[in-house]
Chain A
């Protein structure tokens, strides 16, 4: 079963705008990872944030983690049409080695 949920389920924006996706989870974690998936293809790893970290950056991506609220957010700044994809958060839960994925956010960036 899915660990939690991403919010919103779908997001439509214009190129140049920022996109924010949220992820909630249910149990204590070792780390949280964000992935991108283009339609019908494999997942591309974006960022890993450890449970003792609060914020992480990679290029146009910013991830925050609030373990007290069991939530994370992914911010994509200055979005491009090529950012159109589904975005998933996945948690590696304490005591387990597998990733538990959320339900995903479908992002559409229009030119």
Chain B
């Protein structure tokens, strides 16, 4: 148990619907990351936060995706107007800070868009 929790664990939605995922990092961790993983591939970076500030966004994060970390604690990732290509495992990770600190991952949210 890494201490990072994600909710929901599974989400099935119809194309065109909006979905929101939540991540609760390890409590003292300043850094929070979102990754996406498709079948048979390694995770790919989406975005990260230092406390409440979103410092980097991947080109994978289209304008349909938005992430927030309003109080520097939990984070949400919203996907608007979902497409079948959004089907993937969405992973959240946290670390104490940058540099030589490990990133600890949550169990992920598996999204299926039908």
Residues of A within 8 A of B (CB): 1-2, 30-31, 33, 35, 40-45, 48, 50, 88, 90, 96-104
Contact = CB atoms under 8 A, between A and B. Distances in A.
Given A42-B105, A42-B107, A88 B42 contact: yes
A104 B110 contact: no
Contacts, number: 68
Binding site secondary structure of chain A: strand
A31 B98 CA distance: 11
Interface residues of B, number: 29
Interface in B39-54: 40-45, 48
A101 B38 CA distance: 12
A1 B59 CA distance: 10
Nearest to A50: B100
> In this complex, which of B33, B56, B99, B103 has the most chain A Cβ atoms within 10 angstroms of its Cβ?
B103
Nearest to A100: B45
Contacts of A2: 41-42, 44
